[in-house]
């Protein structure tokens, strides 16, 4: 195989910021994947990420219903000038329930709450976590633009949004980043947002680039997922589809072995190779996996291996939808074939 330059070489831009191509998604330190780690372990992971050169840290009001922002505030406030701090609004916990609310008055209030939890005077990158179908996106972004004018936020982003919505939002206020799920098995950005982001000068920040742990050395299985793990509600992890997806994963593992990298590194290199405006924010609770992920920045994965990986697993070969129908109905992104 012919080696190609490292996919992550050099910084990538998000609005006014330059950051390494791999940041840290902090959700699973407080939320979504079963029981969160003990605070001391989570704090150690964040400090190690700082030591390893991570500068983009991504959180949200939803994660742990504020607990994740509090965690980042405790650990990162002393290092505020070294990092790009990203959070999200418009999807929060209310009385123990997950609520989408993009009303201007809600976004203003939750921004102040986030600033207090994060122990900072300003959030570098503030995303609208979900587009509220009851509120025109122009109204939500207009309120967030006021936060920029007030100095509480430096740049705006969207999450789980379509190309059409991105263009509407960008017409109200420049959008620095679009955070959508993008991985070998979730190709929705290829239906429009990848191109639209490039045209508008918007960074595409890929969340779940390792397919929610599926493309790692220790993939979860339906029988091992904790009771409150969100993957229990995702068709790709259920007993109907998971065995077929594991067979695809086995083939990817063989490609990674032939390329001299781990499966996670192959998957991350593939995402970063899609375009120079693409970044990735894998999450992890493991220091070893954190270092494995960051090593991709200096890794030259052969182009033939990336091409082969993209053919083995894509929206046509994956088994099961990205989310269940109830969740898909909440999301503004383009659907992608059978994969949802």
Residue 9 lies in a domain: no
pLDDT for res 279: 98
Residue 1 lies in a domain: no
Q: Is 6's pLDDT higher than 80?
A: no
- Compute CA distances 278 → 11, 190, 207, 327, 336, whole Å: 11, 12, 11, 25, 19
pLDDT for res 218: 84
What sign does the dihedral 99-57-252-247 (CA atoms) show?
A: negative
Residue 244 lies in a domain: yes
Rounded to whole angstroms, how far apart are CA atoms 176 and 160? 14
Helix (H, G, I), strand (E, B) or coil at 186: strand
Q: Do the beta carbons of residue 236 and residue 321 sit within 8 Å?
A: yes
Residue 241, Cβ neighbours under 10 Å: how many? 17
Residue 189 lies in a domain: yes
Residue 4's pLDDT band, with cuts at 50, 70 and 90, is low
261-305: pLDDT as tens digits: 999 999 999 999 999 999 999 999 999 999 999 999 999 999 999
pLDDT for res 339: 38
**Could you confirm whether 182 is annotated as catalytic?**
no
Query: What is the average per-residue pLDDT within 140-165?
Result: 98
39-70: pLDDT as tens digits: 999 999 999 999 999 999 999 999 999 999 99
Of the candidates 33, 63, 182, 323, the residue annotated as catalytic is 63
- Compute CA distances 68 → 45, 61, 324, 333, whole Å: 13, 8, 25, 25
Q: Which domain holds residue 206?
A: 20-339
201-241: pLDDT as tens digits: 999 999 999 999 999 988 887 678 888 899 999 999 999 99
* Phi, psi (deg, nearest 5) at residue 31: -160, 150
- Which residues lie below 8 Å from residue 128, measured CB to CB, with a gap of 6+? 88, 89, 90, 102, 107, 137, 140, 141, 144, 156, 157, 158, 159, 161, 169
Which of 137, 127, 124, 120 is closest to 88 using CA atoms?
127
Q: Do the beta carbons of residue 169 and residue 137 sit within 8 Å?
A: yes
> What average pLDDT is seen over the chain?
95
Helix intervals (H) in the chain: 39-51, 67-76, 104-118, 137-149, 163-172, 193-200, 242-259, 263-272, 287-294, 303-312, 325-328
* Phi, psi (deg, nearest 5) at residue 291: -70, -35
Residue 4 lies in a domain: no
Residue 5 lies in a domain: no
DSSP 8-state symbol, 271: H
DSSP 8-state symbol, 209: T
Residue 26, Cβ neighbours under 10 Å: how many? 29
Q: How many domains, in total, are found in the chain? A: 1
Q: Which CATH number characterizes residue 199's domain?
A: 3.20.20.100
Helix (H, G, I), strand (E, B) or coil at 21: coil
Rounded to whole angstroms, how far apart are CA atoms 261 and 297? 12
pLDDT for res 1: 46
Rounded to whole angstroms, how far apart are CA atoms 301 and 298? 10
Residue 73 lies in a domain: yes
pLDDT for res 334: 94
Rounded to whole angstroms, how far apart are CA atoms 327 and 272? 27
């Amino acid at each position: 195989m012919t080696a190609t330059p490292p996919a992550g070489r050099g910084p990538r831009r998000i609005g006014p910021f330059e950051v390494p191509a791999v940041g840290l998604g902090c959700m699973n330190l407080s939320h979504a994947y079963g029981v969160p780690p003990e605070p001391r372990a989570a704090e150690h992971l964040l400090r190690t990420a700082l030591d390893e050169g991570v500068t983009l840290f991504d959180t949200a009001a939803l994660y742990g219903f504020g607990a994740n922002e509090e965690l980042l505030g405790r650990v990162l406030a002393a290092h505020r000038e070294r990092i790009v701090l990203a959070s999200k609004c418009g999807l929060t916990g209310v009385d123990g329930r997950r609520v989408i609310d993009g009303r201007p008055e809600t976004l203003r209030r939750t921004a102040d709450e986030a600033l207090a939890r994060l122990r900072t005077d300003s959030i570098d990158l503030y995303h609208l976590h979900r587009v509220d179908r009851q509120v025109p996106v122009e109204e939500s972004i207009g309120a967030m633009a006021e936060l920029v004018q007030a100095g509480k936020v430096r740049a705006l982003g969207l999450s789980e949004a379509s190309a059409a919505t991105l263009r509407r939002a960008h017409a109200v206020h420049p959008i620095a980043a679009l955070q959508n799920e993008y991985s070998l098995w979730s190709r929705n950005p290829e239906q429009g947002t990848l191109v639209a982001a490039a045209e508008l000068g918007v960074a595409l920040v890929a969340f779940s680039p390792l397919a929610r742990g599926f493309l790692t050395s220790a993939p979860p299985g339906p029988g091992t997922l904790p009771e409150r793990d969100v993957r229990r509600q995702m068709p790709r992890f259920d007993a109907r589809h998971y065995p077929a997806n594991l067979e695809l994963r086995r083939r990817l593992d063989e490609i990674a072995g032939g390329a001299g990298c781990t499966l996670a590194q192959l998957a991350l290199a593939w995402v970063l190779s899609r375009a120079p405006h693409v970044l990735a924010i894998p999450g992890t609770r493991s220091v070893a996996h954190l270092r494995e992920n960051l090593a991709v920045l200096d890794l030259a994965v052969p182009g033939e291996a990336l091409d082969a990986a993209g053919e083995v697993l894509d929206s046509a070969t994956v088994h099961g939808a990205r989310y269940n129908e109830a969740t898909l109905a909440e999301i503004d992104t383009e659907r992608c074939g059978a994969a949802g």
